[in-house]
Amino acid sequence: MADKAAPDSSRRSERSRRAILDAALELLGELGYPRLTVEAIAARAGVGKQTIYRWWPSKAAVLLDAFTDRGATPEGAEASEGAERAGAALPDTGDLEADLKLVLRAAVDQMNAPAYDLPARALTAEGLVNPELGAHFVAQVLEPPLRLFAERLRAAQDAGQVARDIDPRVAVELVCGPLTHRWLLRTLPLTHEYADAVVETALRGILQK
């Protein structure tokens, strides 16, 4: 009996964990981040509040796990495509402009999709005023795609397409910063046309030649 207890308990734990993460994402869509609470997540998941606090320190920590976990499941794949797909390299057809437009258009679609927008926006907001959570979010969610962009630009530099004196990291932020700015601050519509314009302007520069 004792031999069987451990696997059963671990299966139960995994079932509770999954229910908690699913409840967090569902309730985020229903209540919005400011009104999301650990109590509500516990009630929806059918667990006690203390079960959540045993594993996570805050609603933001639950949400970060729910968000990063989902990218690994088939149903979450769509929300994690494009620039944010960790691990995969960016396309390299030899045409830097076309490759960047393809990836940034996918990033625009992702930022406009509630399944990505809601948790990523909530975690960004929390991270702005909660440096510890913010550091985890940046390291786990933002830095991996930024590194892929930098690698693609370094390859273009090696191929003689990007100027020698360009810092790839600065170039990455020149391309990704404006999209993030519009996405987060909702200053103007975030469209494929905007993504294209950012790529064209960043590649050729603002100055009259």
Residue 89 in contact with a copy of itself, rule: CB under 8 A? no
End-to-end CA distance of the chain: 79
User: Site for a copy of itself (CB under 8 A): which residue of 12, 15, 186, 192?
Assistant: 186
Compute the distance between CA of residue 114 and CA of residue 2 in angstroms, rounded to an integer: 45
What is the number of residues in the chain? 209
User: Which of 24, 126, 148, 155 contacts a copy of itself by CB under 8 A?
Assistant: 126
Residues 72, 74, 80: CA angle, nearest 5 degrees: 60
Which of 34, 74, 75, 93 lies at the binding interface for a copy of itself (CB under 8 A)?
34
**How is residue 132 written in tokens?**
């510890």
Q: Which is nearer to a copy of itself, 47 or 153 (CB)?
A: 153
Stretch that binds a copy of itself, among 4-12, 40-48, 71-79, 135-143 (CB under 8 A): 135-143
Query: How far apart are alpha carbons 23 and 45 in whole angstroms?
Result: 6
- Judged by CB under 8 A, the number of residues near a copy of itself is 57
- The contact pattern for a copy of itself, residues 93-122, with x = CB under 8 A and - = no contact, is ---x------------------------xx
Judged by CB under 8 A, the residue of 16, 130, 140, 144 near a copy of itself is: 130
Contacts of 12 (CB under 8 A, 6+ apart): none
> Is residue 43 near a copy of itself by the rule CB under 8 A?
no
CB of 131 to a copy of itself, least distance (A): 7
Task: Please give the C-alpha separations between residue 13 and each of 3, 8, 10, 120, in angstroms, as whole numbers.
Answer: 17, 9, 5, 26
For residue 163, report the phi and psi dihedrals to the nearest 5 degrees: -55, 140
Half-sphere exposure of 143 (CA within 13 A, CB side): 7
CA 171 to chain centre: 20
User: Between 73 and 201, whose beta carbon lies closer to a copy of itself?
Assistant: 201
Residues that bind a copy of itself (CB under 8 A): 32-34, 96, 121-122, 124-131, 134-135, 138, 142-143, 146, 153, 160-164, 166-167, 169-171, 173-174, 176-182, 184-188, 194, 197-198, 201-209
